[in-house]
Structure 1
């Protein structure tokens, strides 16, 4: 498993935190002694986030030289319970100087409760120069700009074997109907299910299925409806959302099409999402749907990723050929302190200089327009950066990360699991919709 950028494991505590529920045993107001280091700064800046293990080491390496040059000690603390703990720490007066927040909904909740400080002018200038308006909007709450984007992931890739496609006489599809036709052809030629999928992810089981649905809502109904859906102006029970589920179901709920090498359709829920990389790398599964980070899993499974490699990927195609609409994830950097050293760190993290340094270390990408795609360490990350930087690309953040936690990390995930297990779509959609907080 990779960092919080790549997976969303959110506990019930985190769901409460995202929804803005005051947790028992927490007291105190915004900030606290750790967040009030003084206007001049004391040479130390604390950063808290869910990025852990090897990626945390890369994160610390990305600013090591800058720390030395600027005489600032950045102390990073990783936690796999970040989403729950950040609100607890903020309410308890033990907030870090900076937090790396992977959910816009959680970010907005912290800002709306006056825990976060508005971003410095230099940070906003960097975002205006290097990021799109869509990205800036995710760091803006009630018309106040609070934080810059950091890294990103691009979702909606279909991973496949170029050699196998050539063997079967099929080409990369240009439309979703073409994708269904390719699926049918492969099934007829091989006599096996072309697709494999794994939705298993501990308490977050189901999230890869939400990515599928989000891709189809955006492609079928467009960005305006997608935005209305995220805001619950278009509810889950709307026919347009049911249409997206039905389109995904043509693949995932068809026992002739899924779940190659693992079992029947219901096995999708029990297969860990990363385990799907092995049959893709070995060529025993024709296709799977997963985000840009999946190339690391393919490599770990012994496959070479590239246009001429064992495995390559194409973006889930649109309903009509032409245009590029994509979903993705990422993080937003928010500050609980506004001392001088913290502001310097915030400015650096929002710069093209930092983006190029971090991406060159490997494994991640950014939508920062000042990033040179050639600094990315893999072909799929280079391709992803070009898509994100393309001014004609329509980008929308992962819907389940923007919705209230009771829905996005609650009933939506659970609903997907129930749907895969055979519950009728209409019942699933009604159940998911019930998670929306009452006004």
Structure 2
């Protein structure tokens, strides 16, 4: 509940920031208004002077310039007022705590009120073309009068003839206007913003800053599309609320293909068959999912991936040969289960990895797809194996694990004298440590078949299909973005061309990259991420309860069976969670 209160405060701050003009924007608009009024006054004075000095009541170009400037200024002012009012309305509607039917009603009302905001914001691009046209009209209105003034003392007849421009002069002016219009159009296309796209992801803090610098800034410079980024450690909950309110982001990045498959089955995701080519990624990361039209499509793009099934150890304190012996003692394991709204996932990662190593990919796939029960002997064995390894139910170990975050566990694993040195974690936690395959330490692991590795990834999907969101998802799938983002992270890109470029060798990164591209190993997607979101959440909670009270395991497994039956009846399952020999 505390995390939900904090999340609501974060969302309200985002709402306030996105709906508030702020003092700088008000100052800019005020300065622009003053300049517009000054220019309007000067143009009116020039028109009046022209009529008085040269005895022509109207100077058509200058009159048109006055009307253009006045009309444009009024239109922009009206658009600004309407936009400001719409943003204030959105803030007033979304700030109170909403419940039940009030959530989708408020979302629909806000969406309807903001429907024209994009068009009004794009009107700012007209300033470029309008400014060029204004300059051309002023030049056309003043230049003949200046020439007329210069020669009036010499030749009155020539002065009178100059009032009617010659055909060649008219052609020259027309040509200049065409060039100016073309230059203005090009300037607008080259320098103006071509709309915006909203993006929800789980990167915050330094990761968000790096993603902004490496990926978003590059995209904005290249395509002139503004990316409105929202980072949240509880992105699944945020996305669920946004979908229920009818205001989902254009693009979302999630770790769970099971959750995305559920959205795809309901018709909430846009197919990406034209973006994700079959030859670009292995089917583990881009499986086909049947949509509401009854046709299988690709619905997401993997941005980066992590290798799991890894047990990390500090070489200065433990040797690779000594890891299996140390793993038999619960005190050797650095385990932290707390992770805000997703607490429990370090334990669920352990259990699904143990099942994969003990029982193989076929049993693993059946369990993920809901065709093998949680009370099945193989699944129950994975739970009890983990409990024995980490000391489930034993107060010193269980208490420390339940009250520590996974970040705390990683710090203890690298701190001499902390009392533990081994950690089961994905490749993003490697640091200066080395790793062994988890099958080397799991009791009863089947090492006779091809090596089995669990993997995970960050997957981008489109919930609101627009030209801007399509452009962004295509960029995220490109080699440029994949190489830029994965190159700054502990994770790896699994796009074939990028993955092939990672160095090999015996280094930690080389061994991980070699495993990801080795055709002789089995790679299975993180089971809880591939399950429906309701099952994933129930799994994480059951892990916490089992760690505290292992005697209640059978009750927990029966409850998970019930949750699995309900969830799989409502969502489209993944048919491909493993790839490699024998799958």
One fold, TM greater than 0.5?
A: yes
Q: Distance in 2 between matches of 1:99 and 1:134?
A: 20
The answer to whether residue 257 in structure 2 is matched with residue 135 in structure 1 is no
Match of 2:456 among 329, 342, 349: 329
Q: Distance in 2 between matches of 1:172 and 1:322?
A: 24
**What is the total number of aligned residue pairs between the two structures?**
382
Pairwise CA distance, 1:357: 0.9
Q: Distance in 2 between matches of 1:75 and 1:434?
A: 40
Q: CA offsets, 1:413-435, max 9 Å, x none?
A: 22212221133233332233233
Q: Distance in 2 between matches of 1:131 and 1:223?
A: 20
Root mean square deviation, CA, Å: 3.5
Match of 2:515 among 378, 381, 387: 387
Q: Structure 2, unaligned stretches of length 5 or more?
A: 1-5, 9-98, 120-188, 440-444, 570-583
Hey, which of these two has a bigger chunk of helix by percent? Answer: 2
Q: Report the counterpart of residue 347 of structure 2 in structure 1.
A: 209
The answer to whether residue 419 in structure 2 is matched with residue 291 in structure 1 is no
Q: Report the counterpart of residue 171 of structure 2 in structure 1.
A: none
Aligned pairs for 1:24-39 (under 5 A) are 24-27=101-104
Q: Distance in 2 between matches of 1:351 and 1:277?
A: 33
Tell which has more relative contact order, 1 or 2 (C-alpha 8 A, sep 6+).
Answer: 1
Q: Distance in 2 between matches of 1:74 and 1:203?
A: 26
The answer to whether residue 369 in structure 2 is matched with residue 231 in structure 1 is yes
Match of 1:246 among 384, 397, 402: 384
Q: Report the counterpart of residue 542 of structure 2 in structure 1.
A: 415
Q: Report the counterpart of residue 58 of structure 1 in structure 2.
A: 210
Match of 2:409 among 263, 268, 276: 276
**Compared CA separation, residues 10 and 139, structure 1 to 2 (3 A):** farther
Pairwise CA distance, 1:10: 11
The answer to whether residue 276 in structure 2 is matched with residue 124 in structure 1 is yes
Larger Cα Rg: Structure 1 or Structure 2?
2
Pairwise CA distance, 1:139: 6.3
**Compared CA separation, residues 340 and 172, structure 1 to 2 (3 A):** farther
**Compared CA separation, residues 224 and 331, structure 1 to 2 (3 A):** same
Say if 2:234 and 2:342, in contact at 8 Å, map to a contact too.
no
Q: Distance in 2 between matches of 1:254 and 1:91?
A: 38
Match of 2:534 among 406, 418, 421: 406
Pairwise CA distance, 1:73: 2.5
**Compared CA separation, residues 46 and 381, structure 1 to 2 (3 A):** farther
Q: CA offsets, 1:66-112, max 9 Å, x none?
A: 43123332232223342123233234332222111222222122222
**Compared CA separation, residues 246 and 79, structure 1 to 2 (3 A):** closer
TM-score normalised per structure 2 = 0.59
Report the secondary structure of 1:329's partner residue: strand
**Compared CA separation, residues 113 and 431, structure 1 to 2 (3 A):** closer
The answer to whether residue 484 in structure 2 is matched with residue 357 in structure 1 is yes
Q: Structure 1, unaligned stretches of length 5 or more?
A: 1-8, 12-21, 174-178, 300-304, 306-310
**Compared CA separation, residues 359 and 404, structure 1 to 2 (3 A):** closer
Pairwise CA distance, 1:354: 1.3
TM-score normalised per structure 1 = 0.76
Q: CA offsets, 1:240-277, max 9 Å, x none?
A: 1012122223311279xx99xxx334432122221112
The answer to whether residue 340 in structure 2 is matched with residue 340 in structure 1 is no
**Compared CA separation, residues 46 and 205, structure 1 to 2 (3 A):** closer
Deviates most, 314-323 or 149-158: 314-323
Say if 1:136 and 1:149, in contact at 8 Å, map to a contact too.
yes
Report the secondary structure of 1:51's partner residue: coil
Aligned pairs for 1:40-119 (under 5 A) are 42-63=194-215, 64-119=217-272
Report the secondary structure of 1:99's partner residue: strand
Aligned pairs for 1:158-169 (under 5 A) are 158-166=311-319
Q: Distance in 2 between matches of 1:367 and 1:218?
A: 21
Q: CA offsets, 1:179-200, max 9 Å, x none?
A: 3x4535xx6xxxx932221212
Say if 2:305 and 2:458, in contact at 8 Å, map to a contact too.
yes
**Compared CA separation, residues 435 and 120, structure 1 to 2 (3 A):** closer
**Compared CA separation, residues 352 and 375, structure 1 to 2 (3 A):** farther
